[in-house]
Structures are given as C-alpha cells and as structure tokens.
Amino acid sequence: MSILVEATPNPNALKFTSDKMIFDGNNSISVMPGQTSEHKVLNELMELDGVDNVFGFQHFITVNKKMDVEWDSLTNQVEEIITKHGY
C-alpha cells in the first residue's frame, strides 16, 4: 500500500491517492464540520485538529485544512489514518 500526496490549486487542500479503491461507485462523499459519514476513515480525518473538511471519490481523499494550520504538522497524521484503514 502506498499513498501519493499531491498539491491542489488550493493551498489549503492536499489530495491523498491510494493504489486501492477507497469508495465504491460513482458518487463523491463530502464531510463538512459538524457532519459525520458512514465511512470511518472520513470521520477519523475530521477529528484531527486542523482539518476543516474532507472529500472522497474512488481512489482519493482530499483534505482541506484550516487556514492557521501548517501541512507539516498534519500530512503524516492524515497518511497514518488512511493507511490504518487499509488504503
């Protein structure tokens, strides 16, 4: 398993792509503050201090961080959660 981390046009968002399917089907999943999802991986990501919202589709999850948080302190935590869930 490996996670590819890619920048997006939004400096507050990073795309985490897995070589495994994370979400089946053709629907995307978004979780905003105060919401939960049927997908535990997204709920755990939302619990991280500094995460604003998450978006998932098939092989990837895009994590949006809060403006005052640096990626240096968040990227490894996101990768650990995704990997822990087998992706």
Q: Which of 86, 74, 68 is nearest to 5 (CA)?
A: 74
Give CA–CA dist 65/19, Å, rounded: 23
CATH of the domain at 13: 3.30.1370.70
- Over residues 15-37, mean pLDDT: 96
pTM, two decimals, is 0.95
Contacts of 80 (CB under 8 A, 6+ apart): none
Task: Name the residue among 4, 86, 2 with its Cα closest to residue 62.
Answer: 4
Amino acid sitting at position 51: V
- Cβ-contact 62, 9 below 8 angstroms: no
Q: How confident is the model at residue 1 (pLDDT cuts 50, 70, 90)?
A: low
Answer whether residue 62 shows pLDDT above 90: yes
Mean pLDDT of 62-80: 96
Confidence of residue 61 (pLDDT cuts 50, 70, 90): very high
**Portion of the chain with pLDDT greater than 90, in percent:** 97
Residue 51: domain span = 3-84
Number of domains into which the chain is organized: 1
